[in-house]
Amino acid sequence: MAETTQFFDEMTGGTSEVRRPYSGYDAWFSGEDIKDLRKKSIDAEAFFRRTGITFNVYGEAEADERLIPFDIVPRIISGREWARLTRGIEQRVRAINAFLYDIYHRQEILRAGRVPVDLIARNEAFLPQMIGMQPPGGVYTHIVGTDLVRTGEDEFYVLEDNARTPSGVSYMLENRETMLQMFPELFSRIKVAPVQDYPIQLRRSLAACAPVATTGSPCVAVLTPGIHNSAYFEHAFLADQMGVELVEGHDLRVLDGRITMRTTRGYKPIDVIYRRVDDDFLDPLNFNPDSMLGVPGIMDVYRAGGITIANAPGTGIADDKAIYSYMPDIVEFYTGEKAILKNVPTWRCSEADSLAYVLDNLADLVVKEVHGSGGYGMLVGPAASKKEVAAFRKKLEARPSNYIAQPTLALSTCPILTKSGLAPRHVDLRPFALVSPQGCTITPGGLTRVALKKGSLVVNSSQGGGTKDTWVLEE
């Protein structure tokens, strides 16, 4: 490899030997010409451009839409490693669903003192409108994206939970489609678990969560805020792949106690809405009265059992990074088991002792907003200038409860293709879990995000990161 690192390298393990999961790929790669692979990389970019696989960047006047960078070297995970990850993810997803049911009903975890009452009561993501509400099938988080990082051979950590409106699955699917087109011979040599049936599984899982009153085959639709949303490509892509309608708020209305969508033959009732609209904009009668994105009265229909909303309103509290710090307790409280997947050690800046420690060590820590996402509003201490650290210190002192801090992890690396060959770059992984009354299904793979800049630990596409195809080996 062209460069060496002090981090765990998933291809070599930091030795001169190639790790077993990569042995088949390495044997193939060693017989390839770098110039040919570089051309394939350019071809892949052209494919993405033709397909329209873009994302929007908020707050920037130039180039609203960007092409997400794609690296043609796959990230490879063994079947044994994946089996352990899926057990841990399923355990965590079960606990999150139980936690959400509990905090909107008896609140036993608060009574037991395992989670502070104030963390729920004063949390903007907690929706009083959901108190006492029973979602169809008892499912709150129909789709969950669990962000994982690796620091060693058998060391995986959950970086955060995405239980509100997790995104990125379209890139997982398009990355695989691109690789199949570019390197069909690789898939005949190496047994890679398929991901292409995710849209079918998603539709099946959503349909299984339809309200009890549903008659016949459940009608499913995807609710999008519209073309200016950063993930609009994904909304349209998933609706198309599932064979369901993509709708906006103005396409929907309440008729006879049902949510209906406008069609050429009049209004048709919908049973399940896969919504990609945030809680605050979902229903102007119950939340933000100025919202033009949602459906007036949808929460009343939901409470009456006339519609399934996936994910359920109020699930965003499980995304909260302060709640995240209690996840080991939450998992144990609801499952009776120790968490299979560990949390990253976390300091809650709302606590005086933790805040003092974080302020004293700001240049060595990663500090995040409790409701932040996309890599925005965070400080990566070791990569920040003294001026940036000083500015962030003022924000932290002004609103300490708005932040948590974590150590700078030694994220594992995977090779990317550069002009001179393979070079290591830091990665994370977002597998996707589907939840229904029938159980939990986890697609073998997920979205691997890669920090394309040498030495960077920030993998978010909005911050210059790219993506890779994720291979889980069939063993």
Whether residues 373 and 454 share a domain: the answer is no
Whether residues 225 and 323 share a domain: the answer is yes
Q: Is residue 143 part of a domain?
A: yes
Q: How far is CA 246 from the centre of its chain?
A: 21
Q: Is residue 12 part of a domain?
A: no
Burial (Cβ within 10 Å: 0-12, 13-18, ≥19) of residue 14: middle
Whether residues 427 and 402 share a domain: the answer is no
Q: Is residue 7 part of a domain?
A: no
Whether residues 329 and 434 share a domain: the answer is yes
In this prediction, residue 65 carries a pLDDT of 60
Give the residue carrying structure tokens 């699930």: 315
In this prediction, residue 270 carries a pLDDT of 97
Q: Could you list the residue range(s) of the whole structural domain that residue 155 is in?
A: 20-343+409-472
**Spatial distance between the Cα atoms of 350 and 165, rounded to a whole number of angstroms:** 26
Q: Dihedral angle at the C-alpha atoms of 230, 231, 233, 235, nearest 10 degrees?
A: -140
Whether residues 47 and 141 share a domain: the answer is yes
Q: What is the pTM of this model?
A: 0.91
Whether residues 356 and 452 share a domain: the answer is no
Whether residues 104 and 133 share a domain: the answer is yes
Whether residues 27 and 104 share a domain: the answer is yes
Whether residues 191 and 49 share a domain: the answer is yes
Bridge partners (DSSP) of residue 471 are 76
Total number of domains constituting the chain: 2
Whether residues 356 and 216 share a domain: the answer is no
Q: Which residues of 127-151 are buried (b: 16+ CB within 10 A; e: fewer)?
A: bebbeebebbbebbbbbbbbbbbbe
Token readout for 475 is 């063993």
Q: State phi, psi for 336 to the nearest 5 degrees.
A: 75, 15
In this prediction, residue 25 carries a pLDDT of 97
Per DSSP, the residues of 233-257 read HHHHHHHHHHT-EEE-GGGEEEETT
Helices (H) and strands (E) in the chain, counts: 14, 23
Name the strand (E) or helix (H) holding 91: helix 79-103
For every one of its 475 residues, what pLDDT tens digit does the chain have, with 9 covering 90 and above?
A: 333 347 999 999 877 799 999 999 999 999 999 999 999 999 988 888 777 665 555 444 444 566 788 999 999 999 999 999 999 999 999 999 999 999 999 999 999 999 999 999 988 899 999 999 999 999 999 999 999 999 999 999 999 999 998 999 999 999 999 999 999 999 999 999 999 999 999 999 999 999 998 989 999 999 999 998 888 989 999 999 999 999 999 999 999 999 999 999 999 999 999 999 999 999 999 999 999 999 999 999 999 999 999 999 999 999 888 899 999 999 999 999 999 999 999 999 999 999 999 999 999 999 998 876 655 678 988 888 999 999 999 999 999 988 999 998 889 999 999 988 899 999 999 999 999 999 999 999 999 999 988 888 778 766 678 999 999 999 7
Q: Is residue 4 part of a domain?
A: no
Whether residues 137 and 191 share a domain: the answer is yes
In this prediction, residue 152 carries a pLDDT of 93
Q: Is residue 10 part of a domain?
A: no
**Spatial distance between the Cα atoms of 169 and 432, rounded to a whole number of angstroms:** 7
Residue 20: left if φ>0, alpha if ψ -120 to 50, beta else—which one? alpha
Bridge partners (DSSP) of residue 367 are 379, 405
Q: Is residue 424 part of a domain?
A: yes
**C-alpha dist (Å) from residue 338 to 20, 90, 146, 330, 332:** 30, 13, 18, 10, 5
Domain harbouring 351, CATH code: 3.30.1490.270
Residues 6+ apart with CB under 8 A from 297: 254, 283, 285
Residues 6+ apart with CB under 8 A from 217: 207
Whether residues 332 and 429 share a domain: the answer is yes
